[in-house]
Structure 1
Amino acid sequence: MLEFLVSKVAMMLTLGMFSTGMHTVQKIRRKGTGDTPILPFCAFATGCFIWLNYGIITADGTLAFTNFVGTLLNCSYVLLYYWYAPNKKLVYQTVGLFLFLLIGVHMYSAWYHESPEEAKNFLGSCGVLVTIGTFASPLAQMKLVIKTKSAESMSFPLSVMVCAQCIMWWWYGYLIDDFFVQMPNVFGTLLAIIQIFVILKYWDNKPKTVSSVMDNV
């Protein structure tokens, strides 16, 4: 019963986080891609696809369904980004790189492994690496927040949601005794907590320009 409840809460929090990409897409539709990178959408789509395959091979319906929806959402974000992107060559290159990665992962896990357990370990390891890389992406933004001494560029509710999501997935991984589910979410929880503390520290500070900060370095 506890495993069921934890899995459903983790799933709802994750789908809620994936849906925040719609806000970015709406902004792109109004103002163009601007300096919005496509990399996060591609990374999320890649991670979801890997975890979808991991959920299928481990017969975990919660992981499979959550990441099936996540794959569809993030692929749709990539397509919409491509539609509005002025530099489509860069989009081709970025998407092509991730597609090459996914094809390689899928081919090995589907055909070239010696046993289902080996395929599971391979997919789990790939999922851990991609997820940790995705969780680490806000580090550059935190560096900017510390330089400008303003948390205006970071979302407190989103950081809290990410923290709660990681805690629930870690708990779920603990309940089903799955190291690959636990590992990246321990890292994600710690990073989200650091983000929350950084936001709270600079919550009321007026922003300084990066150039003015660099002049004082």
Structure 2
Amino acid sequence: MEFLQFLSWACIVFTVGMFSTGLTDLKKMRASKSADNVQFLPFLTTCLNNLGWLYYGILKTDGTLVLVNTIGACLQSLYILSYCHYTNDKRRVTSQTLLAGGVVCGGWLYFSVLLPQGESQLAQLGLTCSLFTISMYLSPLADLMEIVRTGSVERLSFSLTVATFLTSTSWTLYGLQMQDYYIMVPNTPGIVTSLIRFFLFWRFASVNQGVPSYKLIEI
């Protein structure tokens, strides 16, 4: 098996595995018939990210990007619909979902209609997706600072940390092999933040007084 093909399969398996962590929240909502202890915005922002990269993959005719982000968008849509069904704050959730839909429509109009097809279109879309992905990887930094302050890793998800590390590493190597810096660069922060989380697990695990650091509460 060629190295690029191996990386492609690694990206698919690890990324779908990371997206599937939301099934835990879905199971929690179905069991409690409530969405009170589940965060909604990660589902919404991840879905937007999937749709952006899906369009980028279509323009580049990259089957790996298309497959991964099609599965990701479908899973996030399932989580969003389930959250809308179980939440008591339907007005807020509906308004946020409609706003996200407006962003998708506006983005499609800009990249598909206003921009001429070609390298400029691909470059601007790639840059937009890259910046959005970087912001998602860096968003938990405030929580990490709080963990350093309190010395407790109970709020960290060990399995999600592992999944993020494997996913970001595989996509970084895939982007390097494809010589696509729009794929490689935004996944590098995922490696860095995952290594920081691993260090925090090692440094503060003993503070939890016998509570396994693998008891998972996602950031």
Alignment TM-score > 0.5, same fold:
yes
Identity in percent: 29
Which structure 2 residues correspond to residues 11-160 of structure 1 after superposition, within 5 A?
A: 11-31=12-32, 32-160=34-162
Alignment partner of 2:44: what SS?
A: helix
Alignment partner of 1:202: what SS?
A: helix
* TM superposition shift of 1:50: 0.4
Q: TM-score, normalised by structure 2?
A: 0.90
* Match of residue 3 from structure 1: 4
Asked whether the equivalents of residues 170 and 181 of structure 1 are also in contact (C-alpha less than 8 Å), the reply is yes
C-alpha distance in structure 1 between counterparts of 2:197 and 2:51, whole Å: 27
Quick check: 84-93 or 137-146, which moved more? 137-146
Q: C-alpha offsets along residues 124-166 of structure 1, whole Å, 9 cap, x if unaligned?
A: 1121122112212322332332233211111222212211111
Letter in 2 for 1:10: C
* TM superposition shift of 1:18: 0.4
What runs of 5+ residues in structure 2 fail to find an aligned partner?
A: 210-219
C-alpha distance in structure 2 between counterparts of 1:5 and 1:122, whole Å: 29
Q: C-alpha offsets along residues 154-192 of structure 1, whole Å, 9 cap, x if unaligned?
A: 122221221111111000000010010011111111111
C-alpha distance in structure 1 between counterparts of 2:155 and 2:206, whole Å: 13
* TM superposition shift of 1:102: 1.1
Which runs of structure 1 show a deviation greater than 3 angstroms over 4 or more consecutive aligned residues? Answer: none
C-alpha distance in structure 1 between counterparts of 2:105 and 2:37, whole Å: 29
C-alpha distance in structure 1 between counterparts of 2:190 and 2:115, whole Å: 29
* TM superposition shift of 1:111: 1.2
What runs of 5+ residues in structure 1 fail to find an aligned partner?
A: 208-217
Asked whether the equivalents of residues 150 and 202 of structure 1 are also in contact (C-alpha less than 8 Å), the reply is yes
Which structure 2 residues correspond to residues 155-174 of structure 1 after superposition, within 5 A?
A: 155-174=157-176
Q: C-alpha offsets along residues 19-60 of structure 1, whole Å, 9 cap, x if unaligned?
A: 110001111222321142210000110000000000000010
CA-based RMSD of the aligned residues comes to 1.4
